[in-house]
Homo-oligomer: A and B are copies of this chain.
């Protein structure tokens, strides 16, 4: 595109903004249907047990109780969509058995005419369990032989990869550091509790499910398999969604499948909605990891070897454990050009709620280890941590050894430069940061110590090299030149519908307001992998671009007939199609469409455009975060004063929305660093609510300065690549490095608590 862009790089307001601020947007919990039944779950009080007997007789005798479904008939979903590829693998996605594996694991569901009857009915159910020994510690899962969570053992997955020769690498190193890092069991903690579903199985044999899935088409595929239905009989509709962050990357444990079976039994719509406590205790979380990392560097600051050994706790069942470890691998190995790298990862089962996908998908854990290591090395080298990064990061033109793909764009150096300038890195890093104050007439040292730290990250856009990752779009041009765009690029609140409308408007040469974007509905919107992997601006943008180009080509052919020139002699600007050489020879899109569709009765043709396919690459996007902290050496409290986050997004299609992502990711990253972790004891979750699971409130959040760097990814739509996940990935590591700068205390466990700071400060 050499033309000046009219719609790309402009911060249009989000198309669902008015609906949301006026409260008219309908989220899943808002939906009600005629004759709807209410369903709820009986959950296991045991961390590990066999269900011997379920007695629902009394419950079923209660007037208004309509049906029961149990784990004897409804499977658990224990894999992700990579397993959809073959008939054999597809079977492995589902587990039918009589074992419950964590406190909160669903045992059965009841559907009743109202919530009161439901509650009463649930209280009448008796379940007999045979308690089994439980494993709460992932390291014990490796060694414990007497307790086995799954048939194949307690190890869900193991991966080993080696690049170069790590042993020789370490021999060549002048400095080697080795540390073990622990990360927390973070929750998505989206504004809307993560699980509400209304399933409606009709007598015609069609199942319609309203659920806020990020992956409408894969949810459809899972449900088709579970219910034994063809895909044209399973319709998944995604309502407005109050945040997702990976928590809706598949079916929700115990939700859609139970509802669908209950609906099939009753031929009525069945609604189930988890409470916030159920959300915290019984839906997926981030994988807590233990990462041992050994890193070697030469005296002049060149990384020569790295070894990472990861133990990932996937909880009672798996879904994304393979992908999450794969992401640790690709982001860990990809970021720095280290010639010798040995990576091993093991995912184990424990008797706790499942881990799954959460923004960053393994990368925040890996980055915390890697970027802490870098800071430690810089300190030992007496080198500016920034310079150490610049020296070692993998630059554009180099090959990514994991993806086996050449890096075509990498704006990391610009991110570091701009972030350093905006954060005052050089000055703050060098001067004495500890403030002094006057008390009793004398100058005293404050207990507050100030510090600044930085970290960088790489995250892949989409999953073209890793998973089936289709994207599709379809659009129709109306007789007044406005456009209806159909895409299943599920918008979970990130604003992708707005971005995709901008792409369509840019290509078609119409106003932004002329583009309407459909709801996400598998009956209507063509196959799309959905929202995951920071993919929608890039993958969604590519397919919308191509669908619009398809329509544009047809439009220009018709315009050429009218204007009596060849289509390639034409241009579109601001809704006008004209001959480039003779701009007066022109027709507006509106007039052309009116003519095609209505006026010329010999044509009566609507222009449609479609595109479907996989993205040509999985480009990395990059970012540098500079965290400024104040650590109270008396209380141990860490206060983040400011984040400066510079991210290379290729091209910001909607700069304000990119900044919104960066700010939001920054705040979520601070939570991951300092406060957000489920506290567990003997399989119980001790903080299942916002009182004790502390999200940053707006008054807790520091300013986040968002800086956009544009490296122009050549495979992307108008140069764009991802942003959604990466902006939270390296916040915790930057904070840890800032705390070290302020206090000399190196914290290797997340969350970083005041207790840990105080412990570190002790001589």
Interface residues in A426-483 by Cβ distance below 8 A to B read 464-465, 467-472, 474, 476, 478-480, 482-483
Which of B203, B205, B526, B599 is the one whose CB lies under 8 Å from A86? Answer: B599
User: Which of B16, B202, B526 touches A606 (beta carbons < 8 Å)?
Assistant: B526
Copies in the complex: 2
Residue of A206, A232, A524 most packed against chain B (CB within 10 A): A232
Could you tell me if B232 and A514 are in contact, using CB atoms closer than 8 angstroms? Answer: yes
A565 contacts chain B at the CB level, 8 A cutoff = no
Chain B: which residue is nearest A598 at the CB level?
Answer: B468
- Chain B residue with minimal CB distance to A35? B24
* A467 and B601 contacting across the interface, CB-CB below 8 Å: yes
Interface status of A230 (Cβ within 8 A of chain B): yes
Q: Choose among B18, B467, B597 the residue that contacts A527 (Cβ–Cβ < 8 A).
A: B597
Binds B, one of A38-46, A182-190, A409-417, A515-523: A515-523
Q: Is A50 an interface residue (CB 8 A)?
A: no
Q: Flag if B224 contacts A18 (CB, 8 Å).
A: no
Q: A24-B202, A479-B221 are in contact. Are A472 and B524 (CB under 8 A)?
A: no
- CB-based contact A515/B202 at 8 Å: no
| A513 partner residues in chain B, CB cutoff 8 A | 230
Which of B232, B469, B479, B610 interacts with A604 by CB under 8 Å? B469
Please, what's the 1-or-0 string for A395-410, where 1 marks a CB less than 8 Å from any CB in chain B? 0000000000000000
Q: Verify A19–B202 contact, CB threshold 8 A.
A: yes
Chain B residues with CB under 8 Å of A597's CB are 468, 470, 527
Counting CB contacts under 8 A, is A603 at the interface?
yes
A85 interface residue per 8 A CB criterion = yes
Contacting pair B18 A203 (CB below 8 A): yes
Tell me, yes or no, whether A484 is within 8 Å of chain B by CB: yes
Q: Which residues of B contact A526 (CB under 8 A)?
A: 476, 606, 608
Q: Is A286 an interface residue (CB 8 A)?
A: no
Q: Is A231 an interface residue (CB 8 A)?
A: yes
State A486–B22 Cα separation when bound (angstroms).
32
Q: Report A190-223 CB contacts with B as 1/0, cut-off 8 Å.
A: 0000000000001111100000000000000100
Asked if A84 CB lies within 8 Å of chain B CBs, one says yes
Query: Most B CB atoms within 10 A — which of A86, A470, A602?
Result: A470
Which of B203, B232, B601, B614 has a CB less than 8 Å from the CB of A516? B232
Distance, CA A602 to CA B616, complexed state (A): 9
Query: From residue 514 to 545 of chain A, which have CB atoms closer than 8 A to chain B?
Result: 514-516, 518, 523-524, 526-527, 529
Known contacts A24-B203, A518-B523; decide if A474 and B608 are in contact (CB<8 Å).
Answer: yes
- Say yes or no: A478 contacts B231, CB within 8 Å: yes
A385, chain B: closest CB distance, angstroms: 38
C-alpha spacing A231/B483, complex, angstroms: 8
- Asked whether, in the complex, the Cβ of B527 is within 8 Å of the Cβ of A524, the reply is no
Residues of B near A15 (CB, < 8 A) are 204
Nearest Cβ on chain B to A461's Cβ, whole angstroms: 15
Q: Is the CB of A232 within 8 A of B484?
A: yes
CA separation between A474 and B524, bound complex, in Å? 10
A32's nearest neighbour on chain B, judged by CB, is B34
A17 to B, closest residue via Cβ: B204
Interface check A612, CB cutoff 8 A: yes
Complex-state Cα separation, A662 to B474, whole angstroms: 39
A165 within 8 A of B: no
In the complex, A64 has a CB within 8 A of chain B: no
Contact between A204 and B18 (Cβ–Cβ < 8 Å)? yes
- Complex Cα distance, B434 from A52, in Å, reads 83
The smallest beta-carbon distance between A723 and chain B, in angstroms, is: 23
A233 at the B interface (CB under 8 A): yes
The smallest beta-carbon distance between A686 and chain B, in angstroms, is: 39
A601-B469 contact given A606-B527, A608-B474, CB 8 Å threshold: yes
**How far does the alpha carbon of A467 sit from the alpha carbon of B604 in the complex, in Å?**
10
Known contacts A476-B526, A606-B527, A614-B602; A231 and B518 CB within 8 A of each other: no
List residues of chain B with CB within 8 A of the CB of A84: 598
Instruction: Determine whether A689 belongs to the interface, using a CB cutoff of 8 Å to chain B.
Output: no
Tell me, in angstroms, the Cα distance from A605 to B514 when the chains sit together.
28
Once the chains bind, are B527 and A476 in contact (CB under 8 Å)? yes
Bound: A661/B419 CA distance, A: 74
A613 within 8 Å of B by Cβ? yes
Are the C-beta atoms of A610 and B608 separated by less than 8 Å?
Answer: yes
Residues from 654 to 690 in A contacting B, C-beta threshold 8 Å: none
The residue of chain B having its C-beta at the shortest distance from the C-beta of A513 within the complex is B230
The CB with the most chain B CB atoms within 10 A, among A464, A467, A608, A613, is that of A608
Residues of the B chain whose Cβ atoms lie less than 8 Å from the Cβ of A598: 81, 84-85, 468, 470
Q: Which of B233, B468, B474, B524 contacts A518 (CB 8 A)?
A: B524
Residues of chain A touching chain B, judged by Cβ–Cβ distance below 8 Å, are 15-16, 18-19, 22, 24, 32, 34, 81, 84-86, 202-206, 221, 224, 230-233, 464-465, 467-472, 474, 476, 478-480, 482-484, 486, 513-516, 518, 523-524, 526-527, 529, 597-599, 601-608, 610, 612-614
Knowing that A24-B203, A232-B478, A468-B604 are A-B contacts, what are 7 other residue pairs whose CB atoms are under 8 Å apart, sorted by A's residue number?
Answer: A468-B598, A470-B605, A472-B608, A484-B524, A605-B612, A605-B613, A610-B610
Enumerate 11 A-B pairs (CB-CB under 8 Å) in ascending A order.
A16-B204, A84-B598, A230-B514, A231-B480, A232-B478, A232-B516, A471-B604, A476-B527, A603-B614, A604-B614, A605-B614
Q: Which 7 A-B pairs give the minimum distances between C-beta atoms?
A: A470-B604, A232-B482, A604-B614, A231-B478, A527-B606, A232-B516, A18-B204
